[in-house]
Copies of this chain bind each other. A is one copy, B any other.
């Protein structure tokens, strides 16, 4: 028995599959019984089973935006050559998520989920449902990069290549504070009611949550130089309402809070007693670290410091004025830069 929210459907997000990957015992102790992952595959697994590419997803995002922005004919990740698996996060709204789970763990009772829980679930999906034991590439941006790093550290034998776009292996304090502002915005809406709100409410907090993204997901120069004009908006206000407000407005606060907590607590050094160098030193995948030049969430300096700890890795800074929101592919040159890096990585 699930609660219906028309936003989290194929009508909005396009086609996807649901796979039950069994009972998932979470790192923090709770169990998601009959856990379901929502995913989409494109292309075919070849006979050698060596062309699988896993594409992970970011905070508030899903498989369809990753597919439309990063996958396609003639792109670096191309279904004509790769078996592409686009996976949604637990708590993303598609698959097992707070808004739709019935029973004691549903809604306000949804447990904390960690990046590692997602990766364990994804590995089970790949192995048990899709017959994939090796990944030619794991690729994701933002929280998708957190999953990418977790894959490379947790399952080094399964990951040949890794590309971490606009994200870090560990959540650093400044980024965690941003997450905290999101948590406080959503939870302070009186309609949130500790998570036990009727589906479709909590909209005032979501609006403030969009203002917080306006503050941090773009760059100072984006606003000062009025780059919203090139995106077809009539004013800064119009961009805030028409792009950011519209994007977040239909989402479920509880689902976002599940992801926000996961984002804030991502840290591959949990595998090594807090020793980040030791954790990143475990990576055997050929790894490309791809920060965005104007990113306020994951500044180049933080990404580069991690890259220096990953054996044989390389740093490729993506130049773009749109800050973290460059991830949406807002400028034509962005996709070209990412594709060039991914092609170089896939050819290595």
A residues adjacent to B (C-beta < 8 A)? 172-174, 177-178, 180-181, 184-185, 188-190, 204-205, 208, 211-212, 214-216, 218-224, 236, 240, 296, 299, 301-302
Closest to A299 in B: B220
Q: Are B188 and A220 in contact (CB under 8 A)?
A: no
Closest to A179 in B: B215
Q: Are A220 and B181 in contact (CB under 8 A)?
A: no
In the assembled complex, how far is the CB of residue A294 from the closest CB belonging to chain B, in whole angstroms? 11
Instruction: Specify which chain B residues have a CB less than 8 angstroms from the CB of A180 in the assembled complex.
Output: 211, 214
Q: Are A173 and B211 in contact (CB under 8 A)?
A: no
CA distance A180 to B185 in the complex (A): 13
In the assembled complex, how far is the CB of residue A265 from the closest CB belonging to chain B, in whole angstroms? 14
Closest to A237 in B: B173
Q: Are B174 and A224 in contact (CB under 8 A)?
A: yes
Closest to A183 in B: B211
In the assembled complex, how far is the CB of residue A190 from the closest CB belonging to chain B, in whole angstroms? 6
CA distance A221 to B175 in the complex (A): 11
Instruction: Specify which chain B residues have a CB less than 8 angstroms from the CB of A174 in the assembled complex.
Output: 215, 218-220, 222-224
Closest to A184 in B: B208
A177 touching B220 in the complex, CB below 8 Å, given contacts A184-B208, A211-B184: no
Q: Are B299 and A214 in contact (CB under 8 A)?
A: no
Interface residue from B185, B220, B240 paired with A301 (Cβ < 8 Å): B220
Q: Are B188 and A204 in contact (CB under 8 A)?
A: yes
Closest to A219 in B: B174
Q: Can you add 14 more A-B contacts, CB < 8 Å, to A174-B222, A184-B211, A224-B301?
A: A172-B220, A172-B223, A172-B224, A173-B224, A174-B218, A174-B219, A174-B223, A180-B211, A181-B181, A181-B208, A181-B211, A181-B212, A181-B215, A220-B301
In the assembled complex, how far is the CB of residue A339 from the closest CB belonging to chain B, in whole angstroms? 28
Interface residue from B173, B177, B215, B301 paired with A177 (Cβ < 8 Å): B215
Q: Are A188 and B208 in contact (CB under 8 A)?
A: yes
In the assembled complex, how far is the CB of residue A200 from the closest CB belonging to chain B, in whole angstroms? 19
Cross-chain pairs A/B with CB under 8 angstroms, 7 sampled: A173-B224, A174-B215, A177-B211, A177-B214, A181-B212, A188-B208, A220-B299
